[in-house]
């Protein structure tokens, strides 16, 4: 069997793990400002880890595909440091704030342009909007088998073997290649990328192709923006701590009373 050509779709988002004080919600402007560095969406990192494990076993090539307006190659070079081989950025003002269907369209166009591929991996959902639709729609658009919520992915004898998470355990799914898989966190975290590796990589020049809507030949009329109708900030999470003293039984009774008062 030839060495698998894998494409991993990675989205750059503000760090979802940012400390709470770094996040401000502006209700009027319908904006959430996060004073935090951009990172790769965590589930996409899981997808990359799954891809690297396949590559470690079978060889092949991993291409990272990322769409957005100001995609930072410093953020995405982490994928190269971790073990990916190539980076393709899709940049166009038109690509900003697209809805899931439109995003899937642009990414599918890019995947078709790349041409030679056996497996597309995406995160189960993005860490900012948590829609979880792009991967599945892409499966349709690319007209390939699509397996969601993978907790383990293997290629054996040209066949794809996926353990798909279900609420009570997992299902073993077999599919032909090429295929698309959306990856869940059970796969495991992306391996650690040492700072020395990152810095070494940043010092080296690297040519990264940047494609816009014309390069991709995508249908501009199909690109629809996501419309935010309302933004509701979370309730003020002020902390008020009361310690209930006494014997265990009294504590339990008092706790029940306090909770029912709060209800």
Partner 1 sequence: MIPERPMFWGIDYSWLFYVIAFVAICIFAVGVGIHISVWRKSKSKSNTSISWQAVKQSLLEIVSGARLFKGDIAAGTAHFLMFWGFIILLIGTSLLAVHGHVYSFLTGTTYLAFGFFMEIGGLALLVGITWSLVRRYVQRVPRLERRLEDAVVALWLLVIACSGFLLEGVRLAAQRPGWDEWTALGPMIAGFFPQAAARSIYPGLWWGHGLLCLAFIAAIPYTKLFHLVGAPASYYLHHSPVTLSPDPEAAFEPGVQWDLAQRAFLDACTRCGRCVEACPSAGAGEPLAPRAFVQAARQSLWREERPAGDIRFLLDLDPVEDRSAWFCTTCGACLEVCPVYAAPFEAVGKKRAMLIEEGKGVPDLMNQTLERLFNYENPWVSSKRDRAAWAKGLDVPVIKAGGNNEGFCYFVGCTTSFDDRAQAIAVSFSALLKQAGAEFGILGDKEPCCGDIARVVGELGLFMEKMENCTELLDKFSVSDIVTSSPHCFHTFLNEYGDSSFRVRHYSSVLKELLAQGKLRPQNRVNATVTYHDPCYLGRHNRIFDDPRQVIRSIPGVKLVEMEHHGADSLCCGGGGGRMWQGQDIRGEARMSEIRIKEARGTGAGILVTACPLCLIMMEDALKTVGYEGEMKVMDLNELLLQSLSNG
Task: Give contact residues for partner 1 (rule: CB under 8 A).
Answer: 15, 17-22, 36-37, 39, 82, 188-189, 191-200
C-alpha distances (whole Å) from 121 to each of 4, 134, 147, 148, 166 are 12, 11, 10, 10, 19
Tell the smallest beta-carbon distance from residue 170 to partner 1 (Å). 20
Nearer to partner 1, 78 or 105 (CB): 78
Nearer to partner 1, 168 or 241 (CB): 241
How many other C-beta atoms can be found within 10 angstroms of the C-beta atom of residue 166? 10
Nearer to partner 1, 38 or 96 (CB): 38
Tell the smallest beta-carbon distance from residue 184 to partner 1 (Å). 15
Dihedral sign (CA 68, 71, 75, 79): positive
Q: How far apart are CA 70 and CA 14, in angstroms?
A: 12
Look at strands 146-156 and 159-166 and give their pairing. antiparallel
Q: How far apart are CA 134 and CA 51, in angstroms?
A: 19
Tell the smallest beta-carbon distance from residue 159 to partner 1 (Å). 26
Nearer to partner 1, 39 or 134 (CB): 39
Tell the smallest beta-carbon distance from residue 81 to partner 1 (Å). 8
Tell the smallest beta-carbon distance from residue 202 to partner 1 (Å). 11
Q: How far apart are CA 135 and CA 51, in angstroms?
A: 16
Phi, psi angles (nearest 5°) of residue 237: -90, 55
Q: How far apart are CA 67 and CA 91, in angstroms?
A: 6
Q: How far apart are CA 3 and CA 236, in angstroms?
A: 53
Tell the smallest beta-carbon distance from residue 7 to partner 1 (Å). 22
Q: What is the DSSP letter of 225?
A: B
Nearer to partner 1, 84 or 90 (CB): 84
Q: How far apart are CA 217 and CA 98, in angstroms?
A: 17
Nearer to partner 1, 194 or 244 (CB): 194
């Amino acid at each position: 069997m030839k060495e698998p050509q894998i494409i991993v779709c990675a989205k750059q988002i503000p760090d979802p793990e940012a400390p709470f004080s770094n996040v401000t919600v502006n209700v009027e402007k319908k904006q959430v400002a996060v004073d935090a560095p951009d990172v790769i969406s965590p589930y996409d990192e899981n997808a990359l880890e799954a891809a690297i494990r396949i590559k470690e076993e079978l060889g092949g090539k991993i291409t990272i595909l990322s769409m957005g307006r100001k995609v930072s190659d410093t953020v995405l070079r982490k994928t190269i440091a971790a073990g990916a081989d190539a980076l393709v950025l899709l940049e166009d003002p038109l690509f900003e704030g697209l809805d899931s269907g439109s995003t899937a369209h642009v990414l599918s166009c890019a995947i078709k342009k790349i041409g030679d591929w056996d497996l597309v991996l995406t995160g189960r959902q993005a860490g900012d909007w948590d829609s979880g639709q792009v991967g599945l729609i892409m499966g349709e658009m690319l007209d390939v088998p699509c397996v969601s919520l993978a907790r383990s992915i293997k290629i054996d004898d040209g066949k794809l073997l996926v353990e798909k998470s279900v609420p009570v355990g997992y299902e073993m799914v077999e599919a032909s290649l090429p295929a698309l898989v959306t990856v869940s966190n059970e796969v495991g975290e992306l391996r650690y990328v040492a700072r020395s590796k990152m810095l070494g990589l940043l010092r080296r020049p690297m040519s990264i192709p940047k494609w816009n809507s014309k390069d991709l030949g995508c249908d501009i009329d199909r690109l629809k923006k996501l419309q935010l109708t309302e933004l509701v900030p979370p309730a003020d999470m002020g902390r008020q701590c009361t310690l209930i003293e006494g014997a265990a039984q009294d504590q339990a009774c008092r706790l029940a009373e306090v909770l029912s008062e709060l209800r």
